[in-house]
Structure 1
Amino acid sequence: MPEAPQRNPYKVRFVAEQVSHHPPVSGFYCECAERGMCVNTHIWTKSKFMGMSVGVSMVGEGVLYLLDHGEEYAFTFPSAYARSILTVPWVELGGKVTISCAKTGYSANVTFHTKPFYGGKVHRVSAEVKQNSSGKVVCKAQGEWNGTLEFIYSSGETKVIDTNKLPVIRKMIRPVEKQGRTESRRLWQHVTAVLKEGNIDLATEHKHVLEEDQRSDERQRAANNMPWKPKYFNKEDDEWVYRNPLWKTH
């Protein structure tokens, strides 16, 4: 008899919520208790047209917590670009990202390289990891963020990771009818369905109805002097933090 497929021993929990309307900030939280890892982020976007492209800057910061090591890694985000928007659209990442850990004293600068106008490869990325106290580069990386990445250490050791060979486990999602009224897949189900059919006009109509409902709710809150109150995140200083993070249990 064929062997039964092994079950993944790890469970990943993900929560996302729009925590502010002006500006439109989204809060994200993800955790894997079995690996002692969690990440808390908040992002809002700035968009601009650039000829045949649209650029989207990701404004915000995230923190990755490695609880078994007591380490926190703060990081920023790359920008996203939609190219050839009037012909055959495609998307790439670009810009610089910083990663730092106060406990270890190491930091990294990561550059997402946009494709040159003529020639060149897409999705290229390069990075340097430094020891902050000495400025010594302890590791360099290069390759494609969605392909093969090569890591070269100061010791001379090298390591190659092919992201296409990493195991992928499909996420499990509750049926739409069992989701909450404001969960994204339920709220936008009609827009999604007609977009899959290629009916842009009907998708625009469904989107307009949703947006009008949201504007109506906002007007009602303003009339009753009731500010928007997120369900899953609290604002601490200038950060949006998940209310029941994994690090509180360690």
Structure 2
Amino acid sequence: MAPNDPKQGGGFFASIASSLSSFGSVMTKSVNGLLGYEGLQVINPEGGTEDAEEEAKRGRWKQEDSDSYWKMMQKYIGSDVTSMVTLPVIISEPMTTLQKIAELMEYSYLLDMADKCEDPYMRLVYSTSWAISVYYAYQRTWKPFNPILGETYEMVNHGGITFISEQVSHHPPMSAGHAENEHFTYDVTSKLKSKFLGNSIDIYPVGRTRVTLKRDGVVLDLVPPPTKVTNLIFGRTWVDTSGEMIMTNLTTGDKAVLCFQPCGWFGAGRYEVDGYVYNAAEEPKILMTGKWNESMSYQPCDMEGEPLPGTELKEVWRVADAPKEDKFQYTYFAHKLNSFDTAPKKLLASDSRLRPDRYALEIGDMSKAGFEKSSLEERQRAEKRNREAEGHPFAPKWFDLTSEITPTPWGDLEVYQYNGKYTEHRAAIDCSDSIEVTDIKSTEFNPW
């Protein structure tokens, strides 16, 4: 496999996190008839075929809603629908994009191991396995809530990590995140670029992800592959990722290039990931192989990419057990992100956990979730009008816009930098003698 140019950045987790912006699992028979797909045999990515009409009957949509929704979406075919369409709460999961950014931290111990490791090539084995580990969680087809401008998400009590993310721009929607423990710092700026194709949507991760390993000051840069959400209109909605993931050690020039195989007929090749860790001279040193929904393994190789004699394939990461038949296909870690188990003392009022629409959806009150979502969006518009009338431009609290413009394979990106103020804020709170316990029933969500 020939490695690509690594000198471009990618906002891995947030782009993928926002990218699962599917517009519903399926439509009903009337829509299939409208499109000429009645009775069509469709591919099931898990293997086998199913009748499209029967598959459609298991969708989230009521028949009387499906025609009007499809007619509304037809005009957007070929367009970037990242932020120009208001979507119903019925297709949402009770989590925001900022929380999905934090979901990448589930297997953060792999970055700890990369920092402890002296072998420069094994560092890339651990760090790329960490980057791959989140794809199992991101195959969910529910859409996360779009964050309100100024909304935040905090996380502690996991691997010694302090995590903060913030919605730093509304148009275009952009998020920034920072995570840190004794072994690494993690910084990301990301925005989403999409192309709606009718029955599918292509997602392009426009962003920059940087990991710094503290022991030696090694800086890693990640470029993720694009993602496609398939069967938006008919059939079972599912997510596929194909293309190259590139993790580059900017300090030494070493890099890992891994190929995500596309899903073929009857599911052939789905989930498979293969590639190599290369030195700065682009010579293969370690081969990597596995499936992003199961595990990743590695083995030293020769200059031709063949396994070295006397070595064996060793597992470096395996996906953790997940709840059975979970309504939103959540992992145990995803449930923790919604709970206060990972919340710090005296949670910011702008935190995603406190959103009334998110919480209403979590407890199954669809009607209240829809009402609260509309109310928050209207308050956001009103706040913008007032701010513009007073001549006060929006400024994020925890991240600063830099003058840097970084190129990505899908467009240039403005870079936001963590300003360190959250670290000071959290230290002051944690040292305080009077700590109030956050109560979701009494704390009003307020990102303004």
- Bin for the TM-score computed over the shorter chain: 0.7 to 0.9
Query: CA-to-partner distance for each residue in 1:137-169, whole Å, 9 max, x for gaps?
Result: 112212112312121222523322341259x87
Match of 1:21 in 2: 170
Letter in 1 for 2:181: C
Please name the residue that 1:99 is paired with.
Answer: 247
Residues 200-250 of structure 1 show CA distances to partners (whole Å, capped at 9, x for unaligned) of x6533322221111111112221112111001111222321111299xxxx
Corresponding position of 1:184:
352
Verify: 1:160 aligned to 2:315, yes or no: yes
Aligned partners of 1:13 and 1:31 also within 8 Å: yes
**CA offset digits 1:59-83 (Å, max 9, x no partner):** 1111100010110001123333333
Q: Which runs of 5+ in 1 are unaligned?
A: 1-7
The 1:9/1:210 distance shift into structure 2, 3 A limit, reads closer
Query: In 2, distance between residues paired with 1:117 and 1:245?
Result: 51
Give the distance between the partners of 1:76 and 1:162, measured in 2 at CA. Answer: 20
Structure 1 stretch displaced more, 103-112 or 113-122:
113-122
Counterpart amino acid of residue 106 in structure 1? D
The 3 A distance-change label for structure 1 pair 66 and 191 is: closer
- Displacement of 1:57 after TM fit? 1.6
2:417 pairs, out of 221, 231, 241, with: 241
Query: Hey, what's the Cα distance between the residues in 2 that align with 1:245 and 1:181?
Result: 16
Q: 1:83 to 1:196 in 2, by over 3 A?
A: farther
Q: Quote how far apart the aligned CAs of 1:85 are.
A: 2.8
On the 8 A contact 1:59/1:77 being kept in 2, the answer is no
2:217 maps to 1:70? yes
Alignment partner of 1:118: what SS? helix
Residues of 2 paired with 1:58 and 1:204: CA distance? Answer: 28
Q: Is the 8 A contact 1:180 1:186 kept in 2?
A: no
Q: Deviations over 1:37-56 (max 9, x none)?
A: 11101110012223432222
In 2: Cα distance, 1:229 partner to 1:245 partner: 14
Matched residue, 2:392: 226
Name whichever of 76-85 and 212-221 sits farther off: 76-85
Across the two proteins, how many residue pairs are aligned to each other? 231
Q: Structure 2 length normalisation: TM-score?
A: 0.47
Structure with the bigger percentage of helix: 2
- What is the one-letter code of the residue matched to 1:213? R
Q: How far 1:31 sits from its partner (Å)?
A: 1.1
Give CA deviations for 1:60-110 in whole Å, capped at 9, x if unaligned: 111100010110001123333333334433333333222211322201222
The question of whether the paired residues in 2 share the 8 Å contact of 1:179 and 1:186 is answered with: no
TM-score (norm: length of structure 1): 0.80
Q: Distance in 2 between matches of 1:243 and 1:140?
A: 38
Partner amino acid for 1:93? Answer: T
CA contact (8 A) 1:148 1:161 kept: yes
Give aligned-pair identity as a percent: 25
Residue 11 of structure 1 pairs with residue 160 of structure 2: yes
Contact map agreement 2:222 2:246 (CA 8 A) in 1: yes
Describe how 1:48-59 pairs up with structure 2 within 5 A.
48-59=195-206
1:203 to 2:203 alignment? no
Q: Which residue of 2 aligns with 1:193?
A: 360
Q: Which has the higher strand share?
A: 1
Q: Which has the higher contact order (CA 8 A, sep 6+)?
A: 2
SS at match of 2:372: helix
1:109 alignment partner in structure 2? 257
Q: CA deviation at 1:26?
A: 0.3
Alpha-carbon separation, structure 2, partners of 1:219 and 1:110: 46
Distance apart, 1:18 and its partner CA: 1.0
Kept after mapping to 2: 8 A contact 1:25/1:42: yes
In structure 2, distance between residues paired with 1:165 and 1:203: 31
* CA distance in structure 1 between the aligned counterparts of 2:393 and 2:361, rounded to whole angstroms: 34
Summarize deviations over 1:14-44 as a string: whole Å, max 9, x none. Answer: 11001122321100111112xx211101110
Matched residue SS, 2:175: strand
Q: CA RMSD for the aligned pairs?
A: 2.8
Match of 1:149 in 2: 296
- Measured after TM superposition, the shift of residue 195 of structure 1 is 5.9
